[in-house]
Amino acid sequence: MAGLLGKPPVTDDQRRAHDRHDWRVVAAVLGMLALYLYLFTHAADYLGLPRPEPLARSLGLNIPHVFDGSHNVSSNVVITLTQRFDTNDDERMVFLLLLAAAFLSAYFLPLAWKQPALIFWSLVAVWLLYGSRVLAALLGAQLLVYLVLHPRRGDGWVAALTGLAFHWAFWWPAGALEPGLAGAVLVAAGAAALHGLVLRPLLARETSARVLRTLAVQSAIVTVTLGAVGEALTGRAWSLPLGILLFFWQWERLILYHVDYKDGRIPRRLSLTRFLAVFWNPAVIPNWNWGVSIGQGYAHVHDNFLAEDKNRLALAGVKLLGVALLYLIFWNWGRHLAVDFFEGLGIPVFNARTRSMVSHFVAGGEVSTPSVLATTFLDLARWTMLWAGVVHFKVAIWRILGFRMEPYMDRPWLATDLATFWRRFTFHYREFLVRAFYYPVFFRYFRNHPRLRVLAATLAAAGLGNLVWGHMTERLYYRGLEMENLLYVLGTWPYFLLLALGIAFSQIVLLRRRRRRPWTRDAWLLKDILAAWATLQYFALIHIFARPVPGSTLGDLTRLFLRGFGIEMG
- Would you tell me which residues interact with another protein (CB under 8 A)? 1-2, 4-8, 263-265, 419-420, 423, 434-435, 439-440, 442-443, 447, 450, 453-454, 507, 510-511, 514-518, 520
Helices and strands counted in the chain (H then E)? 28, 0
The least distance separating another protein from the CB of residue 309, rounded to whole angstroms, comes to: 17
With CA atoms as reference, report the closest residue to 375 among 364, 367, 366.
367
Q: Decide whether 1 or 523 has the Cβ nearer to another protein.
A: 1
Q: Decide whether 497 or 510 has the Cβ nearer to another protein.
A: 510
**Distance from C-alpha of 224 to C-alpha of 486, rounded to nearest angstrom:** 9
**Distance from C-alpha of 297 to C-alpha of 281, rounded to nearest angstrom:** 12
**Distance from C-alpha of 97 to C-alpha of 118, rounded to nearest angstrom:** 14
The least distance separating another protein from the CB of residue 250, rounded to whole angstroms, comes to: 22
Name the maximum alpha-carbon separation found in the chain.
79
Q: Decide whether 51 or 435 has the Cβ nearer to another protein.
A: 435
Q: Decide whether 360 or 404 has the Cβ nearer to another protein.
A: 404
Q: Decide whether 484 or 522 has the Cβ nearer to another protein.
A: 522
Q: Which residues contact 457 (CB under 8 A, 6 or more apart)?
A: 437, 438, 439, 441, 442, 445
Q: Decide whether 280 or 442 has the Cβ nearer to another protein.
A: 442
**Distance from C-alpha of 560 to C-alpha of 292, rounded to nearest angstrom:** 32
Q: Decide whether 15 or 71 has the Cβ nearer to another protein.
A: 15
Measured in whole angstroms, the distance separating CA 258 from the mean position of its chain's CA atoms is 17
The least distance separating another protein from the CB of residue 289, rounded to whole angstroms, comes to: 26
Could you give the count of Cα atoms lying within 13 Å of 188 in the half-sphere of its Cβ? 15
Q: Decide whether 116 or 518 has the Cβ nearer to another protein.
A: 518
Q: Decide whether 24 or 513 has the Cβ nearer to another protein.
A: 513
**Distance from C-alpha of 32 to C-alpha of 35, rounded to nearest angstrom:** 5
Q: Cβ distance 320 to 395 under 8 Å?
A: yes
The least distance separating another protein from the CB of residue 454, rounded to whole angstroms, comes to: 7
**Distance from C-alpha of 381 to C-alpha of 37, rounded to nearest angstrom:** 27
The least distance separating another protein from the CB of residue 324, rounded to whole angstroms, comes to: 25
Q: What angle do CA 180, 186, 189 make, to 5 degrees?
A: 135
Q: Decide whether 6 or 370 has the Cβ nearer to another protein.
A: 6
Tell me the torsion sign for CA atoms 552, 554, 556, 557. Answer: positive
The least distance separating another protein from the CB of residue 218, rounded to whole angstroms, comes to: 19
| Three-class secondary structure of residue 403 per DSSP | strand
The least distance separating another protein from the CB of residue 512, rounded to whole angstroms, comes to: 10
The least distance separating another protein from the CB of residue 79, rounded to whole angstroms, comes to: 34
Q: Decide whether 4 or 59 has the Cβ nearer to another protein.
A: 4
**Distance from C-alpha of 290 to C-alpha of 481, rounded to nearest angstrom:** 19
The least distance separating another protein from the CB of residue 144, rounded to whole angstroms, comes to: 27
The least distance separating another protein from the CB of residue 420, rounded to whole angstroms, comes to: 5
**Angle between the N-to-C axes of helices 369-400 and 310-344, in degrees from 0 to 180, rounded to the nearest 10:** 160
Could you give the count of Cα atoms lying within 13 Å of 9 in the half-sphere of its Cβ? 10
**Distance from C-alpha of 455 to C-alpha of 435, rounded to nearest angstrom:** 16
The least distance separating another protein from the CB of residue 305, rounded to whole angstroms, comes to: 15
**Residues paired with residue 73 on neighbouring β-strands, in sequence order:** 67
How would you write 161-221 as a 3-class SS string? HHHHHHHHHHHCCCCCCHHHHHHHHHHHHHHHHHHHHHHHHHHHCHHHHHHHHHHHHCHHH
The least distance separating another protein from the CB of residue 456, rounded to whole angstroms, comes to: 13
Q: Decide whether 145 or 461 has the Cβ nearer to another protein.
A: 461
